[in-house]
Amino acid sequence: MKCRKCGEPAVLELRRHNAAFCAPDFLGFFRNQVREAIRKHRMFARDEHVLVAVSGGKDSLGLWDVLLDEGYRTTGLYLDLGIFDYSVESKAKCEAFAARRGAPLLVASVAEAVGAPVPVIQAVTRRPPCSGCGLSKRYLMNRVALEHGMPVVATGHNLDDEAATLLGSVLHWQTEALARQSPALPSTHAKLVRRVKPLYRLSERETAAYAVLRKIDYIVEECPFAKGATSIAHKEILSRMEDASPGTKHNFLFGYLEKARPAFERAEAVTLNECARCGQVTTGTVCAFCKLADQVKRAT
Amino acid sequence: MAGGRRVKDVLRELDIIPETVLVIRGDDLVTADQVVHDDETIELRPVMSGGSAP
């Protein structure tokens, strides 16, 4: 197999693009896709300080790597979820990457903020672990960005993540989730920062290849709580469809964003308030994060 | 497994969807049309991550 651009031996075939690339040309392709995502959705400007949420995995560290190479002003944020050895190892990967690149890294602990780590939150709430974890992460990412005066949080969500989320929302016709699904969510309140996903044009196989070719030492093992998660089942189904018909994931997500999303965007604006407890943004009186912290406090 | 076969044939025999793994030999990525020889070791690294990203 030959590189589409230079004719040298290829290292990666991208069937959905009907192309194969050598290592240097794949890295160029990857960076161009990130540039295009940032440009098309005006994710952030050159002079804006970007908070990059990093988990120690291939996607978020790969994203941080590209943004550093592109010359953006970034700070990493690692959220310590307190998930046993997985969190210890993933934190070490983030710290090693930050040290190697000479980039600043902030660390926030879910256990400190909520009152207990993710495994205890799961036991207390009796809900899927990804539920309390996702809520805590979204809350803390926004709060840390605000505290440090950063207008935007970038996450490592890739094409597979987004297509799987879309499939889950469509299967249950979660119209509010469908309206919110976007590579770039604008700030709709002074205390809400922008949330952007510069890797949404790239598959997770491509982000893994980028990390390997860039020799990024990332955590390969999956979060122990992700086993059996519905999002994984959706990804497997989509990968089988992709195998039978390359381009399926891309067409599903991009077709939705271009043709269907506008229909789900609600005409009426949601009323946003400031949480009576913590001051962060909520649609109610007390935010979901403070309610979660209360629940944990009562049970522990 | 016996070598002398293309990567895509090895993956098919193991019932692994090519989209879900990277094939690594030493420090290099390997495409599906390349042949793996008897004396070689390849790593099939899963690329799927899940749960609540990032």
Distance between B47 CA and the closest CA of chain A, angstroms: 6
The mean pLDDT of chain B is 88
The proportion of chain B whose per-residue pLDDT surpasses 90, expressed as a percent, equals 70
Residues of B in contact with A235 (CB under 8 A): 48, 50
Residue A50 exposed, middle or buried by CB count within 10 Å (0-12, 13-18, 19+): buried
At B53 the three-state DSSP class reads: coil
Q: Which domain holds residue A242?
A: 32-265
Decide if A187 contacts A193 (C-beta within 8 A).
yes
What local confidence, expressed as pLDDT, does residue B53 receive? 42
For chain B, list residues whose CB is within 8 angstroms of any CB belonging to chain A.
Answer: 17-22, 24, 28-34, 45-54
Domain annotation covers residue A286: no
Number of compact structural domains in chain A: 1
Mean pLDDT in runs of 10 for chain A (300 residues)?
97 96 98 98 97 97 98 97 94 98 97 92 88 92 97 97 96 91 95 98 97 96 86 92 96 97 76 95 95 92
Domain annotation covers residue A191: yes
What does DSSP assign to residue B19? G
Q: ipTM of this predicted complex?
A: 0.92
For residue B24, pLDDT over 90 is answered with yes
Residues of B in contact with A23 (CB under 8 A): 29
Between chains, do B49 and A10 touch, taking CB under 8 Å as contact?
Answer: no
Domain annotation covers residue A6: no
Between chains, do B24 and A212 touch, taking CB under 8 Å as contact?
Answer: yes
CATH number where A109 lies: 3.40.50.620
Domain annotation covers residue A4: no
What local confidence, expressed as pLDDT, does residue A266 receive? 67
Interatomic CA distance for residues A39 and A44, integer angstroms: 8
Residues of A in contact with B24 (CB under 8 A): 212
Q: Indicate the pTM of the whole model.
A: 0.94
The pLDDT confidence band at residue B51, using thresholds 50, 70 and 90, is low
Residues of B in contact with A53 (CB under 8 A): 54
Partner-chain residue, chosen from B19, B48, B53, that has the shortest CB–CB distance to A243: B19
DSSP string, chain A: -B-TTT-SBPSEEEGGGTEEE-HHHHHHHHHHHHHHHHHHTT---TTSEEEEEE-SSHHHHHHHHHHHHTT-EEEEEEEE---HHHHHHHHHHHHHHHHHHT--EEEEEHHHHHSS-HHHHHHHHTS-HHHHHHHHHHHHHHHHHHHTT--EEE----HHHHHHHHHHHHHTT-HHHHHH--SEEPP-STT--EEE-TTTTS-HHHHHHHHHHTT-----SPPGGGTT-HHHHHHHHHHHHHHHSTTHHHHHHHHIIIIIHHHHS-SSPPP-EE-TTT--EESSSS-HHHHHHHHHHHH-
Domain annotation covers residue A126: yes
Decide if A63 contacts A211 (C-beta within 8 A).
no
Domain annotation covers residue A20: no
Domain annotation covers residue A75: yes
pLDDT tens digits along B27-36: 899 999 999 9
What local confidence, expressed as pLDDT, does residue A228 receive? 80
Between chains, do A60 and B54 touch, taking CB under 8 Å as contact?
Answer: yes
Domain annotation covers residue A273: no
